[in-house]
Amino acid sequence: MSPDPGADDDPTDDLAADAAELADVLRTPPPLASQAAVAGVLARLETRPSNAGFDRFQLVRELGSGGMGVVYLAHHLDLGGPVAVKVIHPHLAGDKEFRDRFKKEVQALSRVRSTDGVEKDNVVTVHDARTSGARFYLVMELLKGATLEDWLRCRPLPSPAADLNWVAEEVLTGLIAIHRAGIIHTDVKPQNLWVERDTGRVKVLDFGVHRPAVAGKPGGAGTPAYMAPEQKRYEEVNARADLFAVGAVLYRMVAGPPPDSGPVLDHPALNALPPELADFIRKFLDPETDHRPANAKAALEELEKAREQADRAEDDRRAAAAKVAELQRVADRAVKAEADCQKAEAGCQATAAAVIALLPIAAQAVEAGEDRTRAEADRRLWICVTASLATCLGIVAAGWALDRLAADRRAAEREAAAERAVAERDAVLGRIRAADQNVDEARAALGRVFKEVDDKARELAQTPEQPEAVRRKVQGEYNRAFSESRTALDQVWQALADRTALLDQLAATAPR
């Protein structure tokens, strides 16, 4: 099924509906408003489906097709609202096997939607199932958004861990309801997962190849790149086969489409993920069936545990980084203290050397006093002792003065560093204000370009009967406006990225 970016309130007016949808596509934020979606809407302006055999619905246009049928946008004549109608291919309608698969899809979706709990919100809603002559068709809710595959094509790989957790939780929640109804989907893949534009909910689609959960039934139908090994071997399948497919979908979000032989468990992109999330995905992709979670509910519980472990690991990493920073500060203080001790030790050594140098003088004075009176000898001795003490005090005072000078120098350096930090912060703030102005200007330019694209889309929708030259001219103007809208959008993203970088720089200059 291809993306359906929206539906008009009055789909019976075909041309007006397509023009309104085209405008809706252009207003849709990336990545849903892709050029492919716009091209699809323009292509649908050329063809209209036949409404023969549908007494309660007015078919408006084709939305997409698959191996089993075609999906149309339709207007419910009784309820007066837009719906999606899935019609089995005419060349398959007479085949009993395909007809049985169609009926199984109806029964599967009916059982899923009749279960209790919020899990059913992650499964497409089927309003009715009908036959009209040789036609078989389903009446379903009209979804707005894109398939997960189209959503991923508009985003760079690898997807961030937050997106992986989001998709895993949404799909597993839907599979809980599906498995509770006794159904094994057997074809979970990005093309069968729908990302709703307004709610961000992921819904499970296309039960056309599902297998009922009955022991001994082969489960080979599906898409090889997303099939469990036991499913490829046409062995008995259970809920674990769908969990393998979920793991392959997450692998697609990280490493790109998996090969038909299956995902590569030691892919570098998987190794670059947080260990808890990488182990969670590898467990889903284990070729041994019994090594995977028992069912979607158990898998969802393991996902929550993996999240908690990842959060704890992140907290531990942050705590370790803070501890390392604290240890570095302690080491810096220790180095400074060692330097101070070395200076003090040098001063003590100088004092001791001075005292030792004065002792011989004192001894000589004592010896000389033998030829003099005892009073004269005592006087000279006290003079020597006093001189020694004065020298020691002078050395201590000099050391204290040096320490004070060093402390004053350090205080001056800190003050200068603080002034530089303030100047740097003021400079960054100035650049942030300039970046804010750039963002506002880019957004204003984007609004003007989108208005021009909208105007050209309306003008294009109003020229189906005009000469070919006129249509080509309008088409060229629309293509130019659309290209300018993409350029303007890139400028907005670049301006926002510059502002984010400046905010990070401002945070780096903040006082610690």
Q: Which residues are catalytic?
A: 187
For residue 139, the SS3 value is: strand
The amino acid present at 22, given as its one-letter code, is: L
Which residue in this structure is represented by tokens 């497919």? Answer: 245
Q: How many Cα atoms within 13 Å fall on the side-chain side of residue 381?
A: 13
CA–chain centroid gap for 348, Å, is: 63
DSSP string, 24-44: HHHHSPTTTS-HHHHHHHHHH
How far is it, in rounded angstroms, from Cα 137 to Cα 479? 37
Give every CB contact of residue 350 below 8 A, 6+ residues apart in sequence.
395
Distance, in Å, from the CA atom of 291 to the CA atom of 415, rounded to the nearest integer, reads 62
The angle at the Cα of 511, spanning 510 to 512, to the nearest 5 degrees, equals 115
The answer to whether 82 touches 7, Cβ cutoff 8 Å, is yes
> How far, in Å, CA of 313 to CA of 58, rounded?
56
Q: Position 121: which residue type?
A: D
Beta strands at 69-76 and 57-65: parallel, antiparallel or unpaired? antiparallel
DSSP sequence for 62-114: EEEE-SSEEEEEEEETTT-SEEEEEEE-HHHHT-HHHHHHHHHHHHHHHHHHT
